[in-house]
Amino acid sequence: MPEVLQKGELYNQIEKLAVSAGKAMNINFATIDIIKTVDGDLYVLEINSGIGATIFIESVEGGYEIIKNIYREALKYLFE
């Protein structure tokens, strides 16, 4: 189940792993599926260049607005 993380140590670890994975794949915009094991280890499961957010939108309160804002910011970044 998707989860929206608050800023903090886990958020920073996941962000660092996601950025590193994106750079390794030479991709600028993607969804990166990351899990945390019961032992606390983080693993990248997959990197998706086709952005599909249906599950997130349906599972997270306010998910549609969150995704809409992500796309808005990404497009602004691309055209600056």
In a domain, 41, yes or no: yes
In a domain, 4, yes or no: no
Query: Alpha helix locations (H) across 1-80?
Result: 9-24, 54-59, 63-78
Q: What is the pLDDT of residue 52?
A: 74
In a domain, 1, yes or no: no
In a domain, 13, yes or no: yes
In a domain, 31, yes or no: yes
Q: What is the pLDDT of residue 50?
A: 72
Q: What is the pLDDT of residue 72?
A: 93
User: Sign (positive/negative) of CA torsion 72, 10, 52, 55?
Assistant: negative
Q: How many domains does the chain have?
A: 1
Each residue's pLDDT tens digit, 40-71: 999 999 998 877 788 889 999 999 999 999 88
Each residue's pLDDT tens digit, 15-46: 999 999 999 999 988 889 999 999 999 999 99
Both tokens of 61, joined, read: 């309160």
The Cα–Cα gap between 70 and 77 comes to: 11
Q: Range of 36's domain?
A: 9-78
